Structure 1
Amino acid sequence: MNVLFVASECVPFSKTGGLADVIGSLPSSIAKQHNVDIRIMLPLYGSIPDHFKKEMKLKDVIVVSVSWRRQYCGIFELHYNGLTYYFIDNEYYFKRDDLYGYYDDAERFTFFSHAVLAALPVLSYQPDIIHCHDWQTALIPTYLKTTYAGDLFYKEVQTVFTIHNLKYQGIFSPDVFQELLHFSDEHYAGLEFNGAINFMKGAIVHSHLVTTVSKSYANEIQTEYYGEGLQYLLQDRGESLIGIVNGIDYNDYNPATDERIPHNYQHSELEKVKNKIALQEMVGLPVREDVPLFAVITRLVEQKGLPLIQHVMDELAGKDIQFILLGTGDAEFEHFFKEMGYRYPEKVSVHITFQESLARTIYAASDFFLMPSRFEPCGIGQLLALRYETVPIVRETGGLQDTVHSYNKYDQTGNGFTFANYNAHDMLYTIERALAIYREKEHWNALLNNIYQTNFSWDHSAKRYSDMYKQLSYIKRSGVHLV
């Protein structure tokens, strides 16, 4: 079976968030375990490290139409870690400082989607399934149902569209429909959204299957609170909407071998404490082995539940704890947490930046990882915390609900602490409950043992994706039409 992954970012070539981590690790896991020929197609950003570019080979040059424009498109190939990657080259669209956030993003990713499909015959590669990720690739299923519908090369190609975060849908001016897409008027309704054009809506309408990154999030986005205006459409696709929780690369994120943490360990409280001491010395906090250390590593945006932390920060700082935050984002939160660092220098350490080595050291050193998100499609922070045996404290939403289960003293089950309501004092009560367990050695050790036995590597999820591809292939052979 041939499966083409199409995405706008992928570790180690380009990254703004968790999407890049998924595309950088999931295809390899599926390919190795399930005999699927997976290839990945990405934009050739100017920011991709030069040593990768030097290894790429130009396969061909084609012309891609974007409305009346006829644009150059170079197709490059790279073999990396046992997989084949294709890169779509056009410096006008992709040689920029950032990946997204430009006035012409609609045009940039219209070009990319069109170029992906136009490149396939040139490469003599015919995927059985094209697996598209987020709004930047959402036009591909629409193109296959419209512009390419009569082309025999694409007749048997099926599409899977994965929603990584429904909040970001690719919504643009209605002028885009005529100026860029040039679909016939009958297809306007499949893209129209409150008078605008919505790329993601088009993918939900036209893909054979729609997936998202946790079972709970798949249920949540069919409700008004989480549905971002698309809940009724997602309800209509309910039978072909699948939630598969994300994983992480257990070889890369491995406290026993990770070269970016001060002391390697494997289920050793003694070695983990050495990392705490090293971090305290590194960031200027008082060196204390016994103090519970809380960590927050996140984008500083409202979605991540930061208003809850703001509301009780003084009460938190009044407890016998230490608190470290790493991340960048909205100015409001950056200024607030900087002020907390100045106000409580003996207890609070704030780093408005992102450094991978510091992040890993924080995971390895901390006792608790706080993630009180308002909504969370899957979340990677809690998975990394579990991998480094740091106890997550999360709100019960989306993937957090699917991966973290509250510790129960009576039967000593659970791998963290959770709270349901989006309420600051519910969160504070849960923190106090976690601190009580921290002081009870028997229960703390039982909790850490549970975490050690937790496994969120890609193995299980990769099998679910493989099974889904096989199911889709079977449905195609049986002649059933999903859309």
Structure 2
Amino acid sequence: MNVLFVASEAVPLVKTGGLADVVGSLPKALKERGADASVIMPKYGAIPQAAVEQMETIATFAVKVGWRSQYCGLLKVDIEGIVYYFIDNEYYFGRDGIYGYGDDPERFVFFSLAVVEALRYLDVMPDVLHCHDWQAGLVPYVLRCWYDHDPAYKRVATMFTIHNLKYQGVFGKRQLQDLLGAGDELFGARGLGHYEAANLMKGALEYADKLTTVSPTYAGEIQTEAYGETLDGLLRYRAGDLVGIVNGIDTISFDPMNDPAVVSPYRNSLSRKRKNKLALQRELGLPESESTPLIGIVSRLVDQKGFDLVAAVLDELLEEEIQLVVLGSGDPHYEGLFNWATANRPDKVKVWIGYNDSLARRIYAGSDMYLMPSLFEPCGLSQLLALRYRSVPIVRETGGLKDTVKSYDEVTGEGNGFSFTWYNAHDMLYTIRRAIGLYRQEAVWEQIVMNGVKEDYSWTRSAKSYMALYAELAAKRKEAERWPVTS
């Protein structure tokens, strides 16, 4: 089984979010299950020089972007046992950043076109192209509509993973026509047009053989008007090809027993874990106390993550005997809120604006509880990291949070965290107060923590599900002729 991941970022090369973690970790788990998994991505200027120095050029060719013929280099390097291919063009990708440029539509149209053309230069044609998010959304469309006459491409199956439906790659129709050198045929019934605009993700949802997203609950949510971001009708139409698979985490890198950022290594011992709480309190200037519940947050400070709920009841929350540690950046309103709280309640609140990986790990290790009251959350990795570091999650029941955090049941003793259903600030506050109350019951709290220990948060389970889908796709491609394609 030969699987090629098509993505715009990957750990350990470049990262802006959870997509990079997935693309950096899942191929390794697939390889352990016998797949030949590799990755193709842009060669950004931000890629570490050590990796660049090891790259070898395996092909150069031209890619037509509208009336322009653009240079493309195809490079290759082995990183931690995974082969990475790079689409090289200094004009498009030789920049310090990854996204946020005015010509992002052109950059990633070029990337998609170059990826499909690059397939002919690989040693082995992939069985499956696994495309991720809108930056690779054009690939399934181009493969089926422009290359399906080529026998070499005809058997390549495509899978498209939605990491966050909110970001779809939407821009003007005329701009896309210029970039593809095409006419109004781009915007037919199964085309790229959507509400008078061009939509790259829609092309993938129309033409990919299989669709996946990053949790079963999110797969259901995005088929509703509330979460469907105007694509819910198409997703309901493709429901038979849509599967939700929860992401995993790198349990080797994120291991409280072997994490160099952790002051006192531990596995399941709450007493040793609480030494990390004392160290975190000391580091941040909070009163040192094992008995005071410490709530951690590591997040983008934006509405999606539920910070309007936190803002609404922060004064009431700080009346409780708790400490709150926040690491993140985002909306100036929320940054200001936590800076204000730190200045006015230095005995209870500390905020670090920005991002610090070592501090994030110490927050996971030092916190008793981890707050994640998201408005929506396709999968979420932070709650999985919290569980890995034996910090009990408090979440809203949405997307992957609902799939991975089960509210503690005092009758059965089951449950690895706390959750609330409605997007309501006082429902959240009630749930936090319930967690604080049970924290005082040492035996009960230890049971909740140990319930979380039983779960497998690695990529092993997810990789098994993906392998089954890849095998299904490859078999269908090899045993049957393609159905007619209409645009």
d(CA) in 2 for partners of 1:177, 1:7? 20
Q: Following superposition of structure 1 onto structure 2, how do residues 361-380 of structure 1 map, counting pairs within 5 Å?
A: 361-380=362-381
d(CA) in 2 for partners of 1:103, 1:433? 48
1:311-356 C-alpha deviation (Å, 9 max, x unpaired): 0111111111000000111222111211111111110000111011
Q: Following superposition of structure 1 onto structure 2, how do residues 334-373 of structure 1 map, counting pairs within 5 Å?
A: 334-373=335-374
1:428-464 C-alpha deviation (Å, 9 max, x unpaired): 0000110111011221111111111121111111000
Partner of 2:25: 25
d(CA) in 1 for partners of 2:183, 2:241? 27
d(CA) in 1 for partners of 2:309, 2:383? 18
Give the aligned residue type for 2:158: T
d(CA) in 2 for partners of 1:481, 1:316? 59
Please say if residues 147 and 183 of structure 1, whose CA atoms lie closer than 8 Å, have aligned partners that are also in contact. Answer: no
d(CA) in 1 for partners of 2:278, 2:442? 20
1:160-179 C-alpha deviation (Å, 9 max, x unpaired): 00000000000011212311
Q: Give the number of aligned pairs.
A: 482
Please say if residues 177 and 188 of structure 1, whose CA atoms lie closer than 8 Å, have aligned partners that are also in contact. Answer: no
Partner of 1:89: 88
d(CA) in 1 for partners of 2:8, 2:112? 10
Please say if residues 211 and 243 of structure 1, whose CA atoms lie closer than 8 Å, have aligned partners that are also in contact. Answer: yes
Partner of 1:180: 179
Shift of residue 144, structure 1, vs aligned partner: 0.7
1:54-95 C-alpha deviation (Å, 9 max, x unpaired): 111122221111111111111111111111110111111112
Please say if residues 3 and 130 of structure 2, whose CA atoms lie closer than 8 Å, have aligned partners that are also in contact. Answer: yes
Please say if residues 158 and 209 of structure 2, whose CA atoms lie closer than 8 Å, have aligned partners that are also in contact. Answer: yes
Gaps of 5+ in 2: none
Secondary structure of 1:99's counterpart equals: coil
Please say if residues 323 and 349 of structure 1, whose CA atoms lie closer than 8 Å, have aligned partners that are also in contact. Answer: yes
Q: Following superposition of structure 1 onto structure 2, how do residues 178-327 of structure 1 map, counting pairs within 5 Å?
A: 178-189=177-188, 190-327=191-328
In the superposition, relative to structure 1, how do residues 145 and 97 fare at CA in structure 2: closer, same or farther (>3 Å)?
same
Please say if residues 311 and 424 of structure 1, whose CA atoms lie closer than 8 Å, have aligned partners that are also in contact. Answer: yes
Partner of 1:331: 332
1:178-208 C-alpha deviation (Å, 9 max, x unpaired): 1112345333132111111000001000100
1:272-325 C-alpha deviation (Å, 9 max, x unpaired): 111111111111111111110001110111110110000011111111100000
Partner of 1:49: 48
d(CA) in 2 for partners of 1:293, 1:153? 58
d(CA) in 2 for partners of 1:299, 1:97? 21
After the TM superposition, list the runs of 4 or more consecutive aligned residues in structure 1 that deviate by more than 6 angstroms: none
Q: Percent identity, please.
A: 51
In the superposition, relative to structure 1, how do residues 174 and 230 fare at CA in structure 2: closer, same or farther (>3 Å)?
same
In the superposition, relative to structure 1, how do residues 25 and 216 fare at CA in structure 2: closer, same or farther (>3 Å)?
same
Q: Structure 2 length as normaliser, TM-score?
A: 0.97
Partner of 1:132: 131
Secondary structure of 1:115's counterpart equals: helix
In the superposition, relative to structure 1, how do residues 467 and 393 fare at CA in structure 2: closer, same or farther (>3 Å)?
same
Secondary structure of 1:299's counterpart equals: strand
d(CA) in 1 for partners of 2:186, 2:327? 45
Q: Does 1:101 align with 2:100?
A: yes
Give the aligned residue type for 1:13: L
Shift of residue 480, structure 1, vs aligned partner: 7.4
Partner of 2:421: 420
Q: Structure 1 length as normaliser, TM-score?
A: 0.98
Q: Does 1:398 align with 2:395?
A: no
Give the aligned residue type for 2:435: A
| Alignment RMSD (CA, Å) | 1.2
Please say if residues 156 and 474 of structure 2, whose CA atoms lie closer than 8 Å, have aligned partners that are also in contact. Answer: no
Please say if residues 141 and 203 of structure 1, whose CA atoms lie closer than 8 Å, have aligned partners that are also in contact. Answer: yes
Give the aligned residue type for 1:146: C
